[in-house]
Amino acid sequence: MEQVIHGILLALHNLALVGCAAAPFYNRNLVNSRGQYGPKLSYKLDKVVEDTLQGNTPYCIVFIITLFVTGMGMPANHYLFHGVFKELSDVALISLITKIAFVFGIVVIMFIIFFKINPELNIMFAGFSSKDQPDPQIEAGFFKLRARRKYLCEICLVFAILVLVSSAFIGFEV
C-alpha cells in the first residue's frame, strides 16, 4: 500500500512540476509573439493577451499547492509506514534544499505578479478602449509594467526548470 500511495503522490507531484514549468514557458511564447507588434496598444490583441496571462493564475496556484501537498505527503507516507523519515544522501539532501528554495522563489514571484502587477495592469487596461487612442504616458506605463512582469516570468521559468532538474537528484540513495 505504501508503494501505491507513493506512486500516486509522485505522479501528482510530477504533473504539478510540469505545470509549474509549462505555464511560464507558454506565457513567454505568447508575450514574445505579442512583442513583435511593439509597445503600442492594440486593444483587442492586448485584451486577449491579458485575459490569457491573467486567466492562468488559478492554475498556477493549484500547481503550487499540489506541489507542496504532495511534496510533504511523500515523506509523511514513508513515516506512516516505517515510523521514521527516510534518510537522504548528501546529494539528495542538497537537491531537496535547492528544490525547496526555487519553489519558494516561484511563490514569491507569483505573489508579486498576481497581487501587485496584474491588479495594476487591470486598472490601467480598464482605462483603455477600442475606440480611443490611449494617453501616451499611461500606455508607456502599461508596457513598462508588462516588461517587468515578463522579466519576472523569465526568472520563474528558470526557477521551474531548476526545480525539475533538482527533483531528478532527490532519489539518490545513501
Tens digit of each residue's pLDDT (9 = 90 or more) over 64-82: 999 999 999 999 999 999 9
Average pLDDT over residues 56-60: 91
Q: Sorting pLDDT into bands at 50, 70 and 90, what band is 24?
A: confident
Stretch 105-124: mean pLDDT? 96
- In the prediction, which pLDDT does 23 show? 84
Structural domain harbouring 116: 2-168
> What domain count does the chain have?
1
Query: In this structure, is residue 32 part of a structural domain?
Result: yes
| pLDDT above 70: residue 160 | yes
What CA dihedral angle connects 16, 30, 115 and 101, to 10 degrees?
A: 40
Which tens digit of pLDDT belongs to each residue from 25-36?
888 899 999 999
Cβ 163 vs Cβ 106: under 8 Å: yes
- 30 falls within a domain: yes
Radius of gyration of the chain (CA): 20
Q: Which three cell numbers stand for residue 23?
A: 505555464
- Taking alpha carbons only, the member of 109, 143, 112, 107 closest to residue 125 is 143
Burial 149-164 (b: 16+ CB within 10 A, else e): bbebbeebbebbebbb
Mean pLDDT for 10-36 is 90
Examine residue 102 and state whether it is found in any structural domain, yes or no. yes
User: Per the domain annotation, does 174 fall within a domain?
Assistant: no
- Structural domain contains residue 100: yes
Total-model pTM: 0.88
